[in-house]
Chain A
Amino acid sequence: MKSGRIFYTILFFFVFTSLLIVVGVVTSLTVTSYPIFSRDGLSFIFKSTWNPVKEDYSILPALLGTLITSAIAISISTPLAISLAVFSIEIVPSKFRAFINNISDLMASLPSVIYGLWGLYVLAPILHQYVMMPLHHYLGFIPLFSTKPIPTNLFTAGVLLAIMIIPFASSVIREAYNAVPYYLKEAAYSLGMTKWEAIKTMLGYIKSAIFAGIFLALGRAMGETMAVAMVVGNTFTFPKSLFDMGYTISSLIANQFPNAEAYNYMIPALYGGAFILFIVGLAINLAGLYWIKKVMIKS
């Protein structure tokens, strides 16, 4: 009994340690960013200047950059992630299933600096020549494609992020799909459904899990720093089209951090950006957890 108590104490100790570390990080974030919020209030979020000479900072363009790149990433990766999950379960011969899943998991574990190197030297030129230039040429009248693209921009960052987050969304969907009760699948086929109709029914059944997977992947996309900083273009302008260069909050931090300490308010401003990212992340996670809960109640 005594060893049990010691064990629980140790357990509590470690949980508190990790909670303490998280709280410590969040506190350091709040304390460091406080000066910018107390000086500028909400105008820190809703203006679009970044002028160190005048110590005038606001992060709207970077926030929009984060939202735009994440939106591109989600809209590209969602169909791909669902396809990958369904493909590995329903279509591929079971012999290769493990192989496909391994590939997906390997994608999840590659360091982001490697994605960044590859994105800059390989992906960006290819996208520029075969995707962005044609889109701009033929559909340039649509505001989304109106800027004459150069290889590194919001769109490239979005596509690179899509590639990076596919495995996260896909594995959540895969697990949920596998967890669907067998009788449901049987019932579908016994109703005379084709394989595609059956898959559609199943996907409808795990709708919540799909949402949860997307939300979790979205969180990853928003926090990614190194890879995005290498391909997003890094200019502080209000984005008007997908082909504009821009910043995301995390790439702004990575770019500006090295010399930020030469100023009085830049460090607080960068932390303010991170703080907002934290709040957005919190909201997205709560939403994601809410969907997951729904799935669990259902099954």
Chain B
Amino acid sequence: MKMKANTKLVLTTIVVIAVAVLVSIFALSSWQTPTQQTTATYTATTETTPTPTTIQLSGMINGAGATFLNPQMQAWASKFYELTGGRIQVNYQSIGSGAGQAKFREGVLDFAGSDPPLKADIYNEFKDKGGIIQFPVVIGTIVIVHNIPTVESGKLKLTGEVVAKIYLGEIIYWDDPEIKALNPELNLPHEKIIAVHRSDGSGTTRVFTAYLAKVSKDWKDKVGSDFTVAWPVDQLGNGVGGKGNEGVAAAVKQNLYSIGYVETAYAYEVGLKVALIQNRDGNYVLPTREAVESAAKTLVTVLPRAYEDWSHIFPDETVDAPGKESYPITSFSFVILRQVYDDPVKVAILKEFFQWVLTEGQKDENIVKGYEPLPPEVSMVGLEGLKLLRTT
């Protein structure tokens, strides 16, 4: 008898939990229902009113892609959610630039975020399907970090060529003559350099290797630039892979005498030691606001239109920008949209959100530390591009 009672107790518990969960599901989903009703009203009026801002449209758009863009995009989405009183939900998830582009191609996303622009073959594929719009939304920089206990942050000077040689496995010790020549005042130890790199495919690696390929012919010929590459330094056993920025930062912290590259936002958050890097004009720079703006200004001269193919320009042509103050490993983060969507509500939401991102969103209070806002000329590319959005 006791057995039976116990079973019943357990079963009842489970049933109660299940019911509670179901009830809460329905409660929550009914929160969302008004959303869809307004959606319908909007659809009816969209043909007659070209300016959607006067109408309280609402709904959700789904985007995904670059991990690098994620913190900034979350900050924007969150602010926009607040500003619109929860009307517009911009859902962005970090799945990687490559996956973002591929899923965008397969049509399962409303927009993609990516560090490099859309690949040429995908761009061409969309030509017959109404075309695409791509534009920069924020500037990102990558810093070289190190873990030499005797050297403070912002003191070590490096050139792109030396960094390339370290990752090629040609410079092995910190007291190598080439590094010493750049840093006569520093006391560099005779220790092996552990070269930390990303183990997962990443837009950060794409930009970093584009920079190395631009400044070192050896790197260009032997390794090249991509989301992941075959790191020559690994073959010597001096390379370490870290998954994500987190993994690279952890590996740099755990390994004395290591070097690594991370997104600037990350270096600040984790408190890694940053190295100065020589720009094309021969000056040693850090990714300060001025250095990034200077680099971005020179990028402006090569900007295509939003509906054009950008793949041959970014990031291979634009890294190592000229300019006295320019920070060399500077690149844009892109948002990619289709020109044509079935749902007029989606078009309106995409327009409203990205217009905000390119104007209000570029103000200092909306930019996360470690990112830099776009110069107005660059924002214009996106603002012009958004005019091409339309429904079938």
- Establish whether A and B are touching in the complex (CB under 8 Å): yes
Does A285 sit at the interface, judged by CB under 8 A? no
CA distance A120 to B247 in the complex (A): 10
Q: How far is it, in angstroms, between the C-alpha of A229 and the C-alpha of B228 when the chains are bound?
A: 17
A292–B102 alpha-carbon span in the complex (Å): 45
Bitwise, A118-152 to B at CB < 8 A (1) or not (0) is 00100000000000000000000000000100111
- Among the listed A52, A151, A261, which residue makes an inter-chain contact with B99, where contact means beta carbons less than 8 Å apart? A261
Stretch binding the partner chain, chosen from A20-28, A185-193, A251-259: A251-259
Given contacts A259-B97, A261-B101, A262-B101, contact A53 B225 (CB under 8 A): yes
Q: Is the CB of B243 within 8 A of A229?
A: yes
Determine the interface band of chain A, counting residues with CB < 8 A from chain B. 20 to 34
Other-chain residue from B96, B202, B223, B240 in contact with A53 (beta carbon distance below 8 A): B223
Which residues from A are CB-within-8-Å of B203?
A: 259
Given the interface contacts A53-B226, A233-B240, A234-B243, does A262 sit within 8 Å of B102 by beta carbon?
yes
Are A147 and B237 in contact, with the CB atoms below 8 A? yes
B241 at the interface (CB under 8 A from A): yes
Enumerate the 10 nearest inter-chain pairs by beta-carbon distance, A residue then B residue, closest first: A259-B201, A258-B96, A259-B98, A262-B98, A261-B102, A234-B199, A51-B230, A235-B241, A53-B224, A234-B241
- Once the chains bind, are A234 and B234 in contact (CB under 8 Å)? no
Indicate if the CB atoms of B199 and A255 lie closer than 8 Å.
Answer: yes
Mark interface residues in B111-123 (1 if CB within 8 Å of A CB, else 0): 0000000010000
Give B219 Cβ to nearest chain A Cβ, in Å.
Answer: 11
A239 to chain B, nearest CB (A): 10
Known contacts A53-B225, A234-B247, then 19 further A-B pairs from the complex at CB < 8 Å, ordered by chain A residue: A50-B228, A53-B226, A53-B230, A120-B250, A150-B254, A234-B200, A234-B241, A234-B243, A235-B199, A235-B234, A236-B234, A237-B237, A240-B237, A255-B200, A255-B243, A259-B202, A259-B228, A260-B201, A262-B227
State the total of A-B contacts with C-beta under 8 angstroms: 99
For residue A245, CB closer than 8 A to chain B, the reply is yes
Least CB distance from B68 to A in Å reads: 12
B96 touches A237 (CB 8 A): no
Q: Please name 24 pairs of A and B residues whose Cβ atoms are closer than 8 Å in the assembled complex, sorted by A.
A: A52-B201, A52-B226, A53-B224, A54-B230, A150-B194, A150-B255, A230-B243, A233-B241, A234-B247, A235-B231, A236-B234, A237-B237, A244-B237, A255-B199, A259-B96, A259-B98, A259-B202, A259-B203, A259-B227, A261-B98, A261-B101, A261-B103, A262-B97, A262-B98
Tell me how far the C-beta of A194 lies from the nearest C-beta in chain B, rounded to whole angstroms.
40
Set B95, B194, B235, B239: member contacting A258, Cβ < 8 A:
B95
The reply to whether the CB of A101 lies closer than 8 angstroms to some CB of chain B is no
Contact B229 A53 (CB under 8 A): yes
B251 at the interface (CB under 8 A from A): yes
- Any B CB within 8 A of the CB of A49: yes
- Number of residues from B at the complex interface, CB < 8 A: 38
* Closest CB in chain B relative to A43 CB, distance in Å: 16
A150 contacts which of B95, B235, B240 (Cβ < 8 Å)?
B240
- Choose one: B228, B242, B254; the contact of A256 (CB below 8 Å): B228
Instruction: Please give the residue numbers on chain A whose beta carbons come within 8 Å of chain B beta carbons, in ascending order.
Output: 49-54, 120, 147, 150-152, 229-230, 233-237, 240, 244-245, 247, 255-263
How distant is the Cα of A272 from the Cα of B229 in the complex, in angstroms? Answer: 20
Q: How far is A234 from B250 in the complex, measured between Cα atoms in Å?
A: 13
Please give the residue numbers on chain B whose beta carbons come within 8 Å of chain A beta carbons, in ascending order.
67, 95-99, 101-103, 119, 194, 199-203, 223-231, 234-235, 237, 239-243, 247, 250-251, 254-255
In the complex, A49→B235 CA distance in Å? 10
Chain A residues contacting B95 (CB-CB under 8 Å) are: 258
Contacts A49-B230, A151-B254, A234-B247 given: A258-B241 contact, CB under 8 Å? no
The chain B residue sitting closest to A235, CB to CB, is: B241
Residues of B within 8 A of A150 (CB): 194, 240, 251, 254-255
Query: When chains A and B are docked, how far (Å) is the Cα of A261 from the Cα of B101?
Result: 8
Complex CA–CA separation, A236 to B199 (angstroms): 8
Q: How far is the CB of A231 from chain B (nearest CB, A)?
A: 10
Q: How far is the CA of A260 from the CA of B97 in the complex (A)?
A: 10
Query: CA of A237 to CA of B102 in the docked complex: distance in angstroms?
Result: 28
User: Separation in Å of the A78 CB from the closest CB of chain B?
Assistant: 30
CB distance from A53 to the nearest CB of B (A): 4
Which residues from A are CB-within-8-Å of B103?
261
Return the chain B residue nearest A244 by Cβ: B237
Residue contact A236 to B96, C-beta cutoff 8 Å = no
> Known contacts A49-B230, A259-B97, A262-B227; is A235 also within 8 Å of B201 by CB?
no
B237 touches A51 (CB 8 A): no
Q: How far is the CA of A20 from the CA of B208 in the complex (A)?
A: 46
Bound Cα distance A200, B202 (Å): 54
Residues of B within 8 A of A240 (CB): 237
Asked if B99 contacts A245 (CB within 8 A), the reply is no
CA distance A54 to B224 in the complex (A): 9
Query: Are B255 and A50 interface neighbours, CB within 8 A?
Result: no
| Least CB distance, B158 to chain A, in whole angstroms | 23
Q: How far is the CB of A266 from chain B (nearest CB, A)?
A: 8
Please give the distance in Å from A157's CB to the nearest CB on chain B. 13
In angstroms, how far is the closest chain B Cβ from the Cβ of A148?
A: 9
- Cβ A256 vs Cβ B201 within 8 A: yes
CB proximity of B183 to chain A, nearest CB, Å: 25
Partner of A237, one of B202, B239, B242: B239
B241 A245 Cβ-Cβ under 8 A: yes
User: Complex formed: what's the CA distance from A103 to B229 in Å?
Assistant: 44
Q: From known contacts A53-B224, A150-B251, A237-B234, infer whether A258 and B243 are also in contact, taking CB-CB under 8 Å.
A: no
A236 CB contacts on chain B under 8 angstroms: 230, 234, 241
Q: Which residues on the A side are within 8 Å of B227 (C-beta)?
A: 52, 259, 262
Residues of B within 8 A of A261 (CB): 98-99, 101-103
